[in-house]
Amino acid sequence: MHSQMIQDDPPEEAPKVEPEPPKVLTKDNKWRKVHVPAYWRPEPGQSVSGTYVDRRWKQGPNGEYEVLILNTSTGLVTIAGCVLMTLLDAIAPITKDTQLQVTYNGTLMSSGGNPVKDFELFVKVK
């Protein structure tokens, strides 16, 4: 009796693909540099205004927190604060073209005895 061994064909090597050289960024290419939104760290009484971009959840050392992202005259700004998020909920739904002004009033104590950032929120009337 003659036994026959069956061998699998060796796997084919994937064709090597040479990476494309980086494109030169010019005004004709329609490229835009991406910037990380800056965290707004105001003093009491300071305000910032801009166009609503988004609300997002972030992970911090004390857990998750929600932020507002505004497109201001100087670029994207991120603002965190539970009082601000509650004010935003009061005017929901917000569209991407909504003009907002946020004023920081300082900190106050919550009913649970924790310090929280106090804000005022203004919406531009069309």
Q: What is the pLDDT of residue 19?
A: 61
Q: Reduced to 3 states, what is the DSSP secondary structure of residue 61? A: coil
Handedness of CA 122, 35, 64, 108 (dihedral sign): negative
Mean pLDDT of 29-35: 75
Q: Is beta strand 63-72 parallel, antiparallel or unpaired with respect to 47-60?
A: antiparallel
Domain boundaries of the chain, sorted by first residue: 36-123
Per CATH, the number for 36-123 is 2.40.50
Whole-prediction pTM = 0.71
Structure tokens at 90: 């009061």
Q: What sign does the CA torsion over 61, 64, 68, 72 have?
A: positive
Higher pLDDT pick, 125 / 101:
101
